[in-house]
Amino acid sequence: MKNHNPHSDGFAPEFALGHWGLHRVVRDGAGKPGLRQWEADANPTRIGLDQLSPEVQSLRVRRPSFRESWLKNGPGADSDRRGCDRFVELPWDEAHELVGRELGRVIGEYGNRAIFGGSYGWGSAGRFHHAQSQIHRFLNILGGYVRGRDSYSYGAGSVVLPHIVAPMEQLLDEHTDWTTLAEHNELFVAFGGIPLRNTQMTAGGPSSHRVREAMDRMRSRGVRFVNISPLRQDIEGAAEWIPIRPNTDVALMLALTHVLLTERLYDASFLERFCVGAEQVRSYVLGESDGVPKTPNWASGITGIPVAKMIQLARDMASLSTMVNASWSLQRQSHGEQSYWALVTLAAHLGQIGQPGGGFGIGYGTLNSVGSNELRISGPRLSQGRNPVGEFIPVARIADMLLNPGGSYQYDGGTYRYPDIRLVYWAGGNPFHHHQDLNRFMSAWQRPETIIIHEQFWNSSAKAADVVLPASMTFERNDVGYASREGHLVAMRKLQQPIGDARSDFDIFNGIARAMGKGETFSEGRTAEQWLEHIYAEFRARVGQQISLPDFESFWEAGRIEIPQSVGPTVMLEAFRADPEKHPLTTPSGRIELFSETIASFGYEDCPGQATWMEPVEWLGSDATSRFPLHLLSQEPRRRLHSQLDHSAYSREGKVHGREPVLISRADARARGISEGDVVRVFNDRGACLAAAKVTEDLVQGVAIIATGAWFDPVQWSPENRLEKHGNPNALTIDVGASKLSQATVAQSCLVEIEPFQGNLPEVTAFRLPEFVGESPNR
């Protein structure tokens, strides 16, 4: 396989692919690679362009590293020193031995049910070196592991939607494409907006960034965009902004439904033919079942939106071809299931589901792929084998699991027990980025006897592990790049040798498997290069009916091949609408379940049988606002992917005095004596972080926003930590489930107070290496 094209002359292009997009590789006279924006990208991103920079590379994990106390005194030793201990670097053969022996010990003493291999996270683009597939395959050949279910992205949505419409992944894949919308849609109502910021990404790698163009095309056709969000910028460009209090969209959706019902603007025949439960909805919305009519007047007190605005919006929706869309943030909150249930309920009353210009969306504006009209085919993949261990947790319940082994919990109609975890193994995710209430998480993280992580960088999760194995980056290995609905396959060629002793996750697992006498089982006798050809050949055969792909050699030579667009438009739930008897939904009734007998039968007070307004655990209507009067939202970051590349120049340019900005309204800033650029302390009873104030007119008063992804940087690596120095919102968020149904994260339900920071400013140390024992060669 040819890896290098030192005389790149435009005929054999080299590409680098990230979840943020495609870059063209250019080489200088010495053959050293650099990255440039891909000229065919309609709206290229700057994220990832600087990933080869010395600044980024200086924080690489270079050699297998072992926490000093763990190495000297054995598993479990001084686990409260995780995060601040020193590390000892060892050669690979010793690392393989040590890790293999420790895995063998835990499995021998406690069984595979004592290993947590949930390993949530985005890792990197590339179908073979997909960290999650590699770790799961590896742990499966050892006899299995406790896994995590659902996601931090849309855990509440993905559990409730199969009960009421269809599996969430299926719906996401079927979103009506932008081109069809441009032709047929008249009014696009976006709860949570359509932030272009977020459409920089597609898991697996976008081709061209299409959403800005798509929205412009719709505007030029006269489509009206309505942005219902606390933040005006959630739609960039022309849009009407309806500011709303966070976590109150369900009340608004119910009030809109109330107007449709009382003004007889709803589609009775749609409800009759395609839905069950319209009667229960009617009775609840009109207040017959609970004595509280869900009128615009009622909703106005909750949402802060004027009554007349709601009435007009409902009327417009009923008279125009209307798409109602909710971002994923709407369900990453307390009772998050209700946002999507109320959205579907509203859309059902409008009666346009299955039509090309209307219906509902649950993810326009979250990723570049949602709404594309490229072919929907799952890509080349590495088989993960079978997991003999049945135990799982809803992914965001990890701290509960570690803190309460044997404790019971409810989930989607079942009762389960938390397993007793002794060893945590992670590859391709950053729990000290993604989990809520990180001070509490620090105490959970002290429980296991051993924590092993494969990482590229010395980020917070690496520093807090016992064993850190250095993972290579995409441009240090060959891979095949692909994402459904992106329309291309990319030869991700190795551009340079891995830094230090870094290796691919495949090579790392292969080495440990060999040390455990299971090398052949893991590798099946194939090298990484042979695996690439193998999974490509499998893919080529599988999709042969739909698309004809060249052999591997030709694909590799070409660098990138375009996959033909799907024939004809995609319209969500079109077949169901055309013939619900022939194409019933997979719900128990085969219809859209505005009332679900199944969910009602679970008897959950926090998730009844139909879309219901319930107060979030924390919101601007809580009593707790007397002490913590601001609702903190933590949106996805514009200049990075989660925590990835937070140390790159592009991400750092977005910081103020090296700290993450906190967006705050002018009125709130003034009331607290805070000016633009001031370092402030954002706090509640769970924790505090430092951030730099960014004052704006474009945010609802009472709301603050910190983007996620500043590397967690506590003054003290202990549950008693009082301050996070860098601006990580998960120092503040609450770690409880959305409801007993999904147990999903509620990162967006969080109250705080903000004050000017007094005293000596602690230095940000997030981008420092840990301490090593002894001299480290060529660091």
Ligand X SMILES: Nc1nc2c(c(=O)[nH]1)N[C@H]1C(S)=C(S)[C@@H](COP(=O)(O)OP(=O)(O)OC[C@H]3O[C@@H](n4cnc5c(=O)[nH]c(N)nc54)[C@H](O)[C@@H]3O)O[C@H]1N2
**Residues involved in catalysis:** 120, 122
CA 381/CA 538 separation, integer angstroms: 9
Indicate the angle between helix axes 296-303 and 307-319, nearest 10 degrees: 120
Q: What three-state secondary structure class fits 75?
A: coil
Nearer to Mo ion, 153 or 459 (CB): 153
Closer by beta carbon to Mo ion, 332 or else 560: 332
- The single residue among 102, 374, 391, 636 that binds ligand X, judged by CB under 6 A, is 636
Burial group, residue 272, by CB count within 10 angstroms (0-12, 13-18, 19+): exposed
Q: Any contact of residue 727 with ligand X (CB under 6 A)?
A: no
Among 23, 96, 163, 332, binds ligand X (CB under 6 A): 332
Contacts of 633 (CB under 8 A, 6+ apart): 230, 231, 246, 329, 703, 704, 705, 706, 748, 750
What is the phi/psi pair of residue 550, to 5°? -70, 170
- Using the rule CB under 5 A, give the single segment among 150-158, 176-184, 484-492, 668-676 that binds Mo ion: 150-158
Tell me the residue ranges of DSSP E strands in 428-538.
450-455, 467-470, 479-482, 488-492
Residue 760's CB is within 10 A of a number of other CB atoms, namely 6
Any contact of residue 228 with ligand X (CB under 6 A)? yes
Picking from 636, 654, 641, the residue whose alpha carbon sits closest to that of residue 694 is 654
**Rounded Cα distance, 607 and 402, in Å:** 26
Query: Is there binding between residue 197 and ligand X (CB under 6 A)?
Result: yes
Which of 107-115, 146-154, 230-238, 763-771 is the region at the interface with Mo ion (rule: CB under 5 A)? Answer: 146-154
Cβ neighbours of residue 6 under 8 Å, at least 6 residues apart? 27, 31
Cα–Cα dist 677/692, whole Å: 5
CB atoms within 10 A of CB 506: 25
By CB under 6 A, is residue 330 in contact with ligand X?
A: yes
User: Considering the rule CB under 6 A, would residue 257 count as an interface residue with ligand X?
Assistant: no
Count the alpha carbons within 13 Å of 422 in the hemisphere toward its beta carbon. 14
Comparing CB distances to Mo ion, the nearer of 153 and 684 is 153
The residue (of 366 and 684) whose beta carbon lies closer to Mo ion is 366
In the complex with Mo ion, the residue whose CB is nearer, 19 or 631, is 19
**What is the number of alpha carbons within 13 Å of residue 685 lying toward its C-beta?**
9
Cβ 335 to ligand X shortest distance, Å: 11
Count of chain residues binding ligand X (CB under 6 A): 62
> Would you count residue 368 as binding ligand X (CB under 6 A)?
no
CB of 582 to Mo ion, least distance (A): 35
| Residue 366 found at the interface with Mo ion (CB under 5 A) | no
With CB under 6 A as the contact rule, the residue among 145, 328, 411, 683 that binds ligand X is: 328
Q: Considering the complex, state which of residue 132 and residue 280 has its C-beta at the smaller distance from ligand X.
A: 132
Task: Give the binding range for Mo ion (CB under 5 A) out of 148-156, 229-237, 365-373, 650-658.
Answer: 148-156
Rounded distance, CA 340 to CA 191, Å?
Answer: 11
Nearer residue to Mo ion within complex by CB, 294 or 332: 332
Q: Which of 566, 545, 580, 454 is nearest to 506 (CA)?
A: 454
Query: Rg of the chain over CA atoms, in angstroms?
Result: 26
Q: How far is the CB of 153 from Mo ion (least distance, A)?
A: 3
Interstrand relation of 630-633 and 592-593 (parallel, antiparallel or unpaired): unpaired
Contact 120, 744 (CB under 8 A): no
Query: Which 378-437 positions form the footprint of ligand X (CB under 6 A)?
Result: 427-430, 433-434
Residues with Cβ < 8 Å from 403, sequence gap 6 or more?
443, 444, 447
Binding-site member from 124, 153, 368, 484 for Mo ion (CB under 5 A):
153
The rounded Cα 613 to chain-centroid distance in angstroms is 25
Our CB check for Mo ion shows the closer of 173 and 501 to be 173
Q: What are phi and psi of 345, to 5 degrees?
A: -65, -45
C-beta of 67 vs 686, nearer to ligand X: 686
* Interacting residue with ligand X among 410, 523, 570, 708 (CB under 6 A): 708
Interaction of residue 193 with ligand X, rule CB under 6 A: yes
User: Which range of residues in 91-99, 106-114, 216-224, 453-461 is near ligand X by CB under 6 A?
Assistant: 453-461
> Which two tokens mark 37?
């924006």
The only residue of 107, 465, 483, 641 in contact with ligand X, by rule CB under 6 A: 641
Closer of 113 and 332 to ligand X (Cβ): 332
Tell me how many residues contact Mo ion (CB under 5 A): 1
Residue 70 or 457: which CB sits closer to ligand X?
A: 457
Binding at 728: pick from ligand X, Mo ion, none (beta carbon under 5-8 Å per type):
none
Site for ligand X in 147-166 (CB under 6 A): 152-153
Q: By CB under 6 A, name the one of 68, 186, 234, 713 that touches ligand X.
A: 234
Contact pick of 132, 133, 329, 450 for ligand X (by CB under 6 A): 329
Q: Report, in Å, the least distance between residue 130 CB and Mo ion.
A: 16
**Among the candidate windows 6-14, 168-176, 629-637, 677-685, which touches ligand X by CB under 6 A?**
629-637
The C-alpha angle with vertex 415 and arms to 410 and 421, in degrees rounded to 5, equals: 85
Min CB(20)–ligand X separation in Å: 7
> Least distance to ligand X from the beta carbon of 426, Å?
8
Partner from ligand X, Mo ion, none binding residue 280, C-beta < 5-8 Å depending on class: none
As given in the structure block, the two tokens for residue 159 are 């559990």
Q: What is the DSSP string of 591-633?
A: SEESB-HHHHHHT-TTS-SB------SSSTTSGGGGT--EEEE
What is the number of the residue whose Cβ is closest to Mo ion? 153
In the list 246, 448, 559, 737, the residue contacting ligand X (rule: CB under 6 A) is 246
CB of 298 to ligand X, least distance (A): 18
Cross-strand pairs, 753: 683
- Binding flag, residue 231, ligand X (CB under 6 A): yes
Look at residue 225 and give its three-state secondary structure: strand
Q: How many CB atoms lie within 10 A of CB 377?
A: 16
By CB under 5 A, tell whether 198 contacts Mo ion.
Answer: no
Give the binding range for ligand X (CB under 6 A) out of 115-123, 258-266, 552-560, 574-582. 115-123
What DSSP designation does 24 have?
Answer: E
Exactly one of 642, 647, 686, 726 binds ligand X (CB under 6 A); which one?
642
Contact 632, 752 (CB under 8 A): yes
C-alpha distance from residue 730 to each of 386, 435, 458, 768 (Å): 34, 7, 19, 20
Identify whether the C-beta of residue 420 lies closer than 8 Å to the C-beta of residue 449.
Answer: no
In sequence order, which residues have a C-beta less than 8 Å from that of residue 358 and are 6 or more positions away? 184, 185, 321, 322, 323, 347, 350, 352
- The residue ranges that bind ligand X (CB under 6 A) are 121-124, 129, 131, 152-153, 191-193, 195, 197-198, 200-201, 228-231, 234, 244, 246-247, 249, 327-330, 332-333, 366-367, 427-430, 433-434, 454-457, 459, 471, 505, 633-638, 641-644, 708, 729-730, 733, 747-748
- The residue ranges that bind Mo ion (CB under 5 A) are 153
